[in-house]
C-alpha cells in the first residue's frame, strides 16, 4: 500500500522549513551583526539602574566580596557583566576579594579577565590594580552550601589558609592582603556581588543574610531572580546581554538624572552583542509566527 | 599543611593548638582513630551498613540543624568568654563552622578523586580491550593526563620565589609548562566549553519553531505573553512602539493609552503575572525540598536495592 502523500501548500511549506536552513539563518543572525558598529536605542530596567547606582555610590577604600562562578561557556553574558563590574570597581577604587563555589575553572578565568581589564584601565589613566594589594583571589571551594554558610558566619575563618599570588612574589595567605584589613565579618564588605550562570545564586540567597546582595545572572535566570529584586532582598540585578547593555548604556551616556561614569567608556560586550541578540530574537519570533501561520493555513485548508 | 584548624581568634577547641605539642598529639590521635574507624567500617556486615550510614548522615546533618536553630552569637568580641550552656554551645558551633566547611570541601574533593578513578577504570578497560569507540576513550584519558601534567607542572614552578614572579598572561619567563597549560586551558577547554553552550541556541530555535503552536486557548495566551516579553528585549522595537503610543496619547503621561507602551505591558506581565507565579512555584519546591531533606537526613528514604 502506498503512503499517503502530504499535499503541497503554503501552510505545509511554512511548517516544514528544513532544520539545517534554520540553523544557517541563526548562524548568520548571530554572527553578521557582530561586524556592525550600530548602537541600538535602550531603556535600562530598574534592576540594572539600582545595581549601577549602588556600585557608584561606593567610596574609595570600600570593600566588596565577589562570587565569580562563570566560565567562557557564558562569556557573552557573564563575561560582559564581570567586565563592567570590575571597571566600575577600579574607577571607584574599591578593593575586592573574589571566590568561587560554582566551577573549578572560574577563579582562573576571573584572574585573566581582571588582569586584562586592570591593564586596559591603567592605559586609560586609571590606577593600576595590583593582585593581592587591590584585589585578592581566594580560590575555589567545592562544597557550595557549606562554604557559603561559613562565609556568612565567619568570613575570615572561611578563607583562612587560602593563598594568592602578590605581584612578583611567592603565594601568601589571603588574610594578609590589604583587602582583608579591617574585615572581621561579612557585613564589613559593602556588598556581595555574585556573577553566576549556575544555581549558586540560590545557595547564596539561602545562606548569606548579613550583607547586602547584588547579582549578575544570565538572561534565563533573570526572570526567576527578579522575584528577589522585587521583594527587596536584592539591591540590584543584572540579567543577560540586555543587563550588560543597560550597564554600559548608563556608564557611557548616563540615564535620566544619573551621570555617566567618569573615565573612558568604550563599547563593551553588551553594546557589541546587543544587535546580535536583536537579530536572533527577531529570527525566533519569525520562526514561531511562520509555524503558527502555517498551522492555521493547513487547518483552514482541511476544513474547506 | 591543609588549613584544617584555622589559626584565628578567638582560640577555641577548633583552633587553639596551632604549632604546639597538643596539636601533634591531637592529629596523631585523630589519624589512628580514623584508621580504626575505617577498618571497622570495612568489616561491618552488609546488614549493618545501613544503620552506620544513617548514623553518619544524622550526625552530619544535626550540626547544621543545630547551627540553624541554636541562638547565634551577635557582636561577639574575640576576648569574650562563653557563660552558661547556651553561650558555650553557640560559641562552639560558630567556631566549628569553618572547620566543618573544610571537612565538606575535602569530602567533595574525594568525590572528584572517585570520578577520576571511575573514568580511569571504565575508559582504561575500553582502551586495553580495544572495544567499540576505544579511540574516544583514549582521547579522553590523554586529555586528562595532559591537563594534570601541565597544570601541576605550572603550579610547582610558581611555588618557588622565581616562579612566583611569572605573569599569568603570556609574557617574560614563560616556558613549556606555562604555554602548555595556556594552550590546553584557554586554547582548548574554554573554547570547547563555549562551543557546547552555544549549541543550545540552535536547539531552542528548532524546538520553538516546531512546538510553540497556538493549539489551545492556554497555549495562545502563553504564546502572546512570550512574544511580548521577547519583544520587550529588543530596544529598537521598544523604542518604536513606545514612541508610537506616546504620539497617540499626545505624550500625556496621565493618558490611559500610556499603559499600552511595550515597556509597561512587559513590566506588568513580569511583576503581576510572572513573579507571583514563580513565587508560588518556589514555595511548592521549597516545601518539597524540606520534606525530601528530612527524609534523607533521617534515612527514611528507601534507596534501590534496600530490603
Distance (Å) from the alpha carbon of B137 to chain A's nearest alpha carbon: 23
How do residues B213-265 score in pLDDT, each as one tens digit?
998 999 999 999 999 989 988 888 999 999 999 999 998 989 999 999 999 99
* Residues of chain A contacting B293 with CB distance shorter than 8 Å: none
ipTM of the complex as predicted: 0.80
Nine cell digits for residue B81:
568568654
Residue A59, min C-alpha distance to chain B (Å): 25
Nearest to B275 among A108, A145, A227 (CB): A227
Size of interface A-B (CB pairs under 8 A): 179
CA closest to A23 among chain B residues: B202
User: Chain A: residue nearest B278 by CA?
Assistant: A224
Write out residues 125-184 of B within 8 Å (CB-CB) of A: 158-161, 164-165, 168-169
Taking the Cβ of residue B221 and every Cβ of chain A, the question of whether any pair is shorter than 8 Å is answered with no
Q: Enumerate the residues of chain B whose CB falls inside 8 A of the CB of residue A23.
A: 202, 205-206
Smallest Cα–Cα separation from B238: which of A238, A204, A281, A230? A281
Chain B, nearest residue to A116 by Cα: B169
Tell me: the pLDDT tens digits for B175-194? 999 999 999 988 999 889 88
In the block, residue with C-alpha cell 592582603: A177
Which region among A11-25, B68-82, B134-148 has the lowest average model confidence (pLDDT)? B68-82
User: Which chain B residues touch A290 with a CB distance below 8 Å?
Assistant: 209
Higher pLDDT: B73 or A32? It is A32
Return the residue matching grid coordinates 571597571.
A87
Q: Which candidate from B3, B212, B231 shows the least CB-CB separation from A160?
A: B3
Give which of B234, B242, B262 to mutate to test A binding, by max A Cβ within 10 Å.
B234
Do residues A158 and B100 lie in contact, with contact meaning Cβ atoms separated by under 8 Å?
A: no
Q: Hey, of B74, B104, B184, which one would you mutate to test binding to chain A, going by the most A CBs within 10 A of its CB?
A: B104
Give the cell for residue B292: 525530601
Instruction: With CA atoms as reference, report the closest residue to A126 among A177, A174, A90, A77.
Output: A90
- Taking alpha carbons only, the member of B109, B94, B102, B91 closest to residue B4 is B102
Find, in chain B, the residue whose alpha carbon is nearest to that of A230.
B271
Task: Give yes or no for a contact between A78 and A197, defined as CB atoms under 8 angstroms apart.
Answer: yes
What is the predicted pLDDT for the residue at B307?
Answer: 47
Which of B171 and B191 is assigned the larger pLDDT?
A: B191
Choice among A4-8, A10-14, A156-160, A288-292 with the minimum mean pLDDT:
A4-8
Of the two residues B129 and A72, the one the predictor is more confident about is B129
CA nearest neighbour of A182 among A14, A61, A301: A61
Arithmetic mean of pLDDT, B56-62? 92
B108 touches chain A (CB under 8 A): yes
pLDDT in tens, B262-293: 999 998 998 899 889 998 998 999 999 999 99
Report pLDDT digits (tens) over A228-272: 999 999 999 999 999 999 999 999 999 988 999 998 888 889 999
pLDDT digits (tens, 9 = 90+) for B15-50: 766 677 877 888 899 899 999 988 988 888 888 888
Task: Give the nearest partner residue to B165 out of A154, A168, A285, using CB atoms.
Answer: A168
Chain segment B74-121, per-residue pLDDT in tens: 877 777 888 899 999 998 898 888 888 888 888 888 888 899 999 999
Pick the range with the lowest mean pLDDT from A4-8, A144-148, B59-63, B154-158: A4-8
| A230 chain-B contacts, CB cut-off 8 A | 271, 275
Instruction: Give B201's contacts in chain A (Cβ within 8 Å).
Output: 26, 30, 280
Q: Which helix (H) or strand (E) holds A65?
A: strand A63-68
With beta carbons under 8 A apart, name residues in chain A contacting B246: none
Contact A143, A131 (CB under 8 A): no
Prior bond of B10 cis (ω within 30°): yes
For chain A, how long is the longest CA-to-CA vector? Answer: 84
Phi, psi of A65 (to 5 degrees): -100, 130
Which residue from A minimizes the CA distance to B2?
A161
- Distance from the Cα of B193 to chain A's closest Cα (Å) equals 5
Residue A132: count other Cβ atoms within 10 Å of its Cβ.
Answer: 20
**Distance (Å, rounded) from C-alpha A77 to C-alpha B6?**
37
Which residue in A has a C-alpha nearest to residue B61's C-alpha?
Answer: A146
Which of B169, B263, B271 is nearest residue A43 as measured by Cβ atoms?
A: B263
- Which residues of chain A lie closer than 8 angstroms to B196, CB-CB? 73
3-state SS assignment for residue B272: helix
Which residues on chain A are in Cβ contact (under 8 Å) with B214?
A: 292, 295
User: pTM of the predicted model, to two decimals?
Assistant: 0.85
Amino acid at each position: 500500500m502506498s503512503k499517503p502523500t502530504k499535499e503541497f501548500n503554503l501552510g505545509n511549506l511554512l511548517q516544514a522549513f528544513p532544520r539545517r536552513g534554520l540553523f544557517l539563518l541563526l548562524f548568520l543572525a548571530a554572527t553578521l551583526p557582530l561586524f556592525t558598529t550600530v548602537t541600538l536605542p535602550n531603556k535600562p530596567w530598574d534592576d540594572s539602574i539600582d545595581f549601577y547606582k549602588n556600585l557608584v555610590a561606593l567610596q574609595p577604600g570600600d570593600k566588596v566580596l565577589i562570587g565569580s562562578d562563570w566560565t567562557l561557556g557564558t562569556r557573552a553574558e557573564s563575561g560582559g557583566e564581570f567586565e563592567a563590574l570590575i571597571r566600575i570597581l577600579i574607577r571607584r577604587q574599591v578593593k575586592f576579594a573574589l571566590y568561587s563555589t560554582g566551577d573549578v575553572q572560574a577563579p582562573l578565568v576571573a584572574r585573566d579577565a581582571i588582569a586584562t581589564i586592570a591593564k586596559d584601565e591603567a592605559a586609560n589613566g586609571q590606577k593600576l590594580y595590583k593582585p593581592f594589594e587591590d584585589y585578592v583571589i581566594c580560590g575555589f571551594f567545592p562544597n557550595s552550601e557549606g562554604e557559603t554558610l561559613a562565609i556568612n558566619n565567619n568570613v575570615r575563618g572561611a578563607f583562612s589558609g587560602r593563598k594568592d599570588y602578590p605581584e612578583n612574589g611567592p603565594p601568601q595567605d589571603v588574610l594578609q592582603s590589604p583587602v582583608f584589613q579591617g574585615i572581621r565579618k561579612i557585613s564589613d564588605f559593602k556588598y556581595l556581588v555574585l556573577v553566576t550562570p549556575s544555581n549558586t545564586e540560590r545557595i547564596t540567597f539561602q545562606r548569606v543574610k548579613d550583607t547586602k546582595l547584588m547579582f549578575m545572572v544570565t538572561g534565563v535566570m533573570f526572570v526567576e531572580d527578579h522575584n528577589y529584586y522585587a521583594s527587596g532582598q536584592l539591591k540590584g540585578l543584572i540579567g543577560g546581554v540586555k543587563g550588560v547593555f543597560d550597564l554600559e548604556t548608563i556608564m557611557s551616556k548616563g540615564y535620566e538624572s544619573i551621570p555617566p561614569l567618569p573615565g573612558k567608556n568604550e563599547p563593551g560586550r553588551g553594546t557589541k552583542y546587543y544587535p546580535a541578540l536583536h537579530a536572533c530574537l527577531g529570527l525566533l519570533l519569525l520562526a514561531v509566527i511562520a509555524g503558527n501561520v502555517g498551522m492555521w493555513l493547513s487547518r483552514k485548508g482541511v476544513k474547506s | 599543611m591543609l588549613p584544617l584548624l584555622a589559626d584565628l581568634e578567638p582560640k577555641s577547641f577548633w583552633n587553639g593548638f596551632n604549632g604546639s605539642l597538643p596539636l601533634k598529639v591531637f592529629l596523631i590521635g585523630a589519624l589512628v582513630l580514623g584508621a580504626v574507624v575505617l577498618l571497622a567500617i570495612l568489616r561491618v556486615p552488609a546488614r549493618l551498613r545501613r544503620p552506620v550510614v544513617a548514623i553518619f548522615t544524622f550526625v552530619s546533618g544535626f550540626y547544621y540543624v543545630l547551627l540553624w536553630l541554636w541562638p547565634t552569637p551577635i557582636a561577639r568580641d574575640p576576648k569574650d568568654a562563653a557563660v552558661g550552656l547556651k553561650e558555650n554551645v553557640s560559641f562552639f558551633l560558630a567556631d566549628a563552622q569553618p572547620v566543618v566547611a573544610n571537612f565538606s570541601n575535602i569530602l567533595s574533593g574525594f568525590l572528584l578523586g572517585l570520578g577520576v578513578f571511575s573514568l580511569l577504570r571504565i575508559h582504561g578497560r575500553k582502551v586495553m580491550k580495544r572495544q567499540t569507540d576505544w579511540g574516544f576513550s583514549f582521547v579522553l584519558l590523554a586529555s586528562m593526563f595532559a591537563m594534570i601534567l601541565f597544570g601541576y607542572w605550572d603550579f610547582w614552578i610558581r611555588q618557588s620565589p622565581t616562579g612566583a614572579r611569572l605573569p599569568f598572561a603570556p609574557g617574560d619567563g614563560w616556558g613549556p609548562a606555562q604555554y602548555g597549560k595556556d594552550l590546553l586551558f584557554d586554547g582548548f577547554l574554554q573554547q570547547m566549553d563555549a562551543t557546547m553552550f552555544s549549541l543550545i541556541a540552535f536547539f531552542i530555535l528548532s524546538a520553538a519553531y516546531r512546538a510553540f503552536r497556538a493549539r489551545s486557548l492556554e497555549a495562545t495566551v502563553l504564546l502572546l505573553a512570550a512574544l511580548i516579553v521577547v519583544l520587550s528585549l529588543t530596544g529598537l522595537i521598544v523604542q518604536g512602539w513606545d514612541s508610537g503610543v506616546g504620539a497617540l496619547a499626545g505624550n500625556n503621561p496621565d493618558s490611559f493609552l500610556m499603559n499600552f507602551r511595550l515597556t509597561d505591558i512587559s513590566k506588568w506581565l513580569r511583576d503581576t503575572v510572572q513573579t507571583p507565579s514563580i513565587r508560588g512555584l518556589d514555595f511548592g519546591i521549597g516545601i518539597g525540598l524540606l520534606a525530601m531533606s528530612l527524609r534523607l537526613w533521617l534515612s527514611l528514604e528507601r534507596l534501590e536495592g534496600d530490603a
